[in-house]
Amino acid sequence: MMSEKPQGPLVSLNSESLNHHLVSLFGRPAKQTRLEDIGLTLLLLDDDDSSDQFAPEQVDTIWQNMPYWAFVWSSGRALASFVQDHPATVAGKRILDFGAGSGVVGLAALNAGAAEVICCDIDPLSRQACLENARLNQLNLQVVSAIEDAGDFDLLVVGDILYDTRNHGLAHSLFQQQKPLLWAESQAQTKLADQRPVAIYSGETYPNVGGFDEHKQIHIYHHLPV
């Protein structure tokens, strides 16, 4: 896979390509949305039509092209709350937010005192959204497409990447990093069942288009390498 060096604020920032993708899928653009519970303003899918009715073929197209960055997923939202409730877990650290989506967890970590955040996501639009969301919150972060490009870091934060069984192999490769890990997943996930959660938060995906959330109980794991 092609890899990229961390990209900082020099990347040209505009939300046109982000909006274009959303309009093609949902018929409406992104909106700057303030989530008071986590103290962040994020560019998310506009939630102005809660009565969305999508045809089955449209649902398939949405899932095949899911703009994960346009939502704050329940686990990421719960982990954002956790790091803000427990700032000592991130303060002064260089943090890698893996499967960053909107960058919600990394941004919450910066607000809680992290020294530096690198958001890693395979989706180029997600990396653009992370930079845009950092700008909206007057924060700075870097983005990479692969973990190998992030350089050294002190802590991995991971919110909601086991949603797809094809991602289950990632659990093993993240543990292989031999780094402390803060990881949030829905209670339903069994891949982490041999880990003991340090906290259980309730979390709700926003916008919750079509009722994404089946399990709102989010388990937060703090894994230390042996």
Ligand X SMILES: C[S@@+](CC[C@H](N)C(=O)[O-])C[C@H]1O[C@@H](n2cnc3c(N)ncnc32)[C@H](O)[C@@H]1O
Residue 201 pairs in a beta bridge with: 218
Assign 139 to helix, strand or coil. Answer: coil
Q: Which is nearer to ligand X, 100 or 156 (CB)?
A: 100
Residues that bind ligand X (CB under 6 A): 68-69, 72-73, 75-76, 99-102, 104-105, 120-123, 126, 159-161, 163, 167, 170
Q: How far is the CB of 172 from ligand X (least distance, A)?
A: 12
In the complex, the smallest distance separating the C-beta of residue 14 from ligand X, rounded to whole angstroms, is: 20
Residue 55 or 109: the one with the smaller Cβ distance to ligand X is 109
CA atoms within 13 A on the CB side of 159: 32
Q: Count the helices and strands in the chain (H runs, E runs).
A: 6, 9
Q: Which is nearer to ligand X, 2 or 226 (CB)?
A: 2
Of 24, 99, 15, 111, give the one whose Cα is nearest residue 61: 24
Chain length of the chain: 226
CB of 92 to ligand X, least distance (A): 22
Strands (E), the chain: 30-35, 40-45, 94-98, 116-120, 142-144, 155-159, 181-186, 197-202, 217-223
Closer CB to ligand X, residue 116 or residue 185?
185
Task: Kindly state the smallest distance separating residue 164's Cβ from ligand X, in Å.
Answer: 7
Whichever of 51 and 106 has its CB closer to ligand X, that residue is 106
CB of 205 to ligand X, least distance (A): 8
